[in-house]
Amino acid sequence: MSEVSKEIKIAEKLKFWEEQDQINKELIPRVVKSHEMITDLAAQFDKNLISMSLFQENIDENDEEISSLHEKLKSESSKRMEQISKLIAKVEEQDIHISEMKSMLMNQEEEIREVKKVLEKVNKNLGVTGNNNGNLAVNIGVLIAMILSIIAIIL
């Protein structure tokens, strides 16, 4: 039985190795295909890393440029605000000056009214004496001189 037993063992071993060979024939193409996929994925991963590195460099450059532009805008904005403040101060100063001029004009208008009243009284008095034409010309000249002096003061 030892010989038969050896033959059975050899037959079992042969059957085992045939099954292993069949399994290997099925597995080897899968392993090769998986290896090719892993190699392709590794190459793609390397390309992606390079692309990500380039993107990061671009992001960093853009960030620096944006920061620079932001600083320039802040500086320009500050200058503009300063100019606006100066212009507002000038406008307020001119507004005060205009108010003073209006007040002065109102005072001068009041003075002109008083001068007109005086002229009317003088004209009435001159009308009584009969020397209207000569005095009227003098009064008109005085009135024009006063008006011109008021205009000169205003300007």
What is the pTM assigned to this prediction? 0.43
Domains contained in the chain, number: 1
With a pLDDT cut of 90, the percent of the chain lying above it is 37
Query: How many angstroms separate the CA atoms of 154 and 104, rounded?
Result: 8
Domain that holds residue 21: 2-154
What is the rounded radius of gyration, in angstroms, for the C-alpha atoms of the chain? 56
**Which residue shows structure tokens 């001029």?**
101
Judge whether 154 and 97 are in contact, CB under 8 Å. Answer: no
Please give the biggest Cα pair distance in the chain.
180
**Band (74; pLDDT cuts 50, 70, 90):** very high
